């Protein structure tokens, strides 16, 4: 019988340039998730610093936030829970790298991913992982892949992870309803919500995988009256959205039945096609049967 994984989506609202305060808040959510029997908790992109690259103390805040990886490892081991601590901005020389990690319930780093597809305002501040491949890795929940925010717009990223056997793809994000121009926003004020809700589910169906999308939320006191998109959810083939949230900060807990992915693959045979000799999208062909 396929396992059922309990997952916590922590739609945290990060206070700008306040890693210690944001870490304490994240820790509280993680402890609550552990008490609820969760196997995995996922946080948003930029959850320690927010995204304010033009602020004078932003780089200093990023340098401080990089020290929290070890503390998340200790927390994961203490609580016996896997953690994807959103993303952590790390300094390498003069460069800033936006990094997502997967930490096991034993406190080990099992996966590391540097954001590849940078949103165009990020490109003057961050360095992309560029030509490095997308790779999946083994975890207590099965084969997992990591992507970040704007990567969601690129089906190629998901397909490459699926070619490595990924069944669960975690996507920490920092997505606003006003990330588009005034002209784009004027066409549809809910356009970004439409983008997110449509794409998360599409990626799940077309890859017979679970898409764990966790976005930043707005301040709790503002409720739904915020430009933060929120909408954290898990996209599943056949079912659609699980645990979908609104726009405000909070936590959603859901049970992810991996048998749904088996049923989806039995019906759609996406991975079966990707295994075939002569597969016409050769760059995504699955070559290692052991990872299926």
Residue 286 confidence class, pLDDT cut points 50, 70, 90:
confident
The structure's pTM equals: 0.96
Q: For 45-92, how does the pLDDT look when each residue is reduced to its tens digit (9 = 90+)?
A: 999 999 999 999 999 999 988 889 999 999 999 999 999 999 999 998
The structure tokens 């690259």 sit at 53
Q: Residue range 172-188: average pLDDT?
A: 94
Pairing outcome for strands 233-236 and 210-215: antiparallel
Judge whether 211 and 200 are in contact, CB under 8 Å.
Answer: yes
Q: Residue range 20-40: average pLDDT?
A: 98
Q: What's the pLDDT at 223?
A: 86
Q: For 128-149, how does the pLDDT look when each residue is reduced to its tens digit (9 = 90+)?
A: 999 899 999 999 999 999 999 9
Indicate the Cα dihedral angle 277, 282, 284, 286, nearest 10°.
20
Q: Is the pLDDT of residue 290 over 60?
A: no
Q: What's the pLDDT at 287?
A: 65
Q: What's the pLDDT at 86?
A: 98
Q: Is the pLDDT of residue 291 over 60?
A: no
Q: Residue range 91-101: average pLDDT?
A: 93
Share of the chain above pLDDT 70, in %: 98
Mean predicted lDDT score pLDDT of the chain: 95
Q: Residue range 218-225: average pLDDT?
A: 90
């Amino acid at each position: 019988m396929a396992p059922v994984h309990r997952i916590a989506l922590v739609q945290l609202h990060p206070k700008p340039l306040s890693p210690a305060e944001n870490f304490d808040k994240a820790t509280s959510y993680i402890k609550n998730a552990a008490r609820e029997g969760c196997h995995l908790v996922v946080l948003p992109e930029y959850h320690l610093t927010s995204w304010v690259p033009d602020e004078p103390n932003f780089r200093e805040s990023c340098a401080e936030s990089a020290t929290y990886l070890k503390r998340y490892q200790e927390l994961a081991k203490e609580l016996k829970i896997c953690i994807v601590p959103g993303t952590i901005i790390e300094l390498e020389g003069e460069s800033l790298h936006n990094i997502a990690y997967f930490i096991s319930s034993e406190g080990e780093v099992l996966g590391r991913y540097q954001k590849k597809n940078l949103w165009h305002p990020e490109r003057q501040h961050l360095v992309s992982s560029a030509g490095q491949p997308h790779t999946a890795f083994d975890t207590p929940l099965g084969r997992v892949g990591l992507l970040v925010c704007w990567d969601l717009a690129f089906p190629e990223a998901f397909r490459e992870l699926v070619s490595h056997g990924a069944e669960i793809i975690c996507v920490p994000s920092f997505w606003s309803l006003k990330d588009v121009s005034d002209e784009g926003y004027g066409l549809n004020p809910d356009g970004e919500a439409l983008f997110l809700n449509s794409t998360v589910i599409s990626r799940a169906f077309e890859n017979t995988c679970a898409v764990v999308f966790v976005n930043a939320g707005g301040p709790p006191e503002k409720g739904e009256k915020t430009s933060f998109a929120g909408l954290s959810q898990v996209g599943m083939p056949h079912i659609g959205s699980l645990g979908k949230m609104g726009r405000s900060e909070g936590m959603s807990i859901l049970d992810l039945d991996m048998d749904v992915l088996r049923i989806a693959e039995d019906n759609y045979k996406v991975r079966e096609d990707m295994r075939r000799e002569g597969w016409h999208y050769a760059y995504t062909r699955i070559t290692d049967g052991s990872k299926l």
